[in-house]
Amino acid sequence: MKAIITALLLAAAGLAHAAPNNASPIYGVTLPDGYRKWQFIAPAHETPPLDELRVVVGNPVAMAAIEKNQLPFPDGTVLVKLAWKHVQSTESPAAYVPGAASTVQVMVKDSKKYASTGGWGFGRFINGKPADEAQHQTCWGCHQALVKNHDFVFTRLAP
C-alpha cells in the first residue's frame, strides 16, 4: 500500500511540473495572468505584409528595468506584445484603429532556463492558443540578428 501511495504522489508531482497544454512549443511560455492590466511601454506599427498595430506592456520587473535603462534585463522580466490588424477609423478617415486581433507575443527572461537563446523564452499566441512550432522557430533568430546590443529586445520606452 505504501508503494502505491508513493507512486501516486510521484505521478501527481510529475503532472504538476508538466508543461501546460497552452504553453508555447520549444520554450514552454504561457500567457501571463493579468497582462492586459500591465503598464504600457510603447506602441508600434508593423508595415506590410503584416500591417499591424502593436502595443507592448511589461510586468513590474520589466518596468523597473526599463525606467532605469538597465541592460541586461533581470530574470523575471516579462514583455507582452498585443497585435491587431489595422483598419481605417469609421469616425475619422485620417486615423487607423485596431481591427481583428492577430497575435499576443510573450518574452520571458530566465537566464538559466533559456541560456541558449540569450536568456529569453518566447511565446506566440493566436486566439489564446500557442502558434505552431514553425512560428516559434523564427523568434530567436530575428531577435539575435537585429537587437543583440539591446539584450535582444526591440522595444524601448516611448517618450
Which pLDDT score is estimated for 18? 36
In a domain, 13, yes or no: no
What's residue 20's pLDDT? 53
With cut-offs at 50, 70 and 90, classify the pLDDT of residue 21.
Answer: confident
Is the residue at 9 inside a domain?
no
Grid cell locating 12: 501527481
| Residue numbers of the domain that contains 96 | 21-150
In a domain, 12, yes or no: no
pLDDT over 90 for what percent of the chain? 84
Q: Has residue 34 been placed in a domain?
A: yes
Judging by beta carbons within 10 Å of its beta carbon (0-12, 13-18, 19+), is residue 46 exposed, middle or buried?
middle
Total tally of structural domains belonging to the chain: 1
The C-alpha R_g of the chain, in whole angstroms, comes to 19
Distance between CA atoms of 101 and 128, rounded to whole angstroms? 11
Contact 110, 78 (CB under 8 A): no
pLDDT of 3 higher than 80: no
Domain assignment present for residue 7? The answer is no
* Residues 36-64: tens digit of each pLDDT: 999 999 999 999 988 999 999 999 999 99
- Reported pTM: 0.85
What percent of the chain has pLDDT above 70? 87
Does 16 fall in a domain? no
CATH number at residue 144: 3.50.70.20
Choose among 15, 31, 17, 23: nearest CA to 133. 23
Span 104-148, pLDDT tens digits: 999 999 999 999 999 999 999 999 999 999 999 999 999 999 999
Asked if residue 27 is part of any domain, the answer here is yes
- Residue 109 within a domain: yes
> Which residue type, as a one-letter code, is found at position 61?
V
- Read off the pLDDT of each residue in 95-108 and give the average, rounded to a whole number: 96
Rounded Cα–Cα distance for residues 24 and 122 (Å): 7
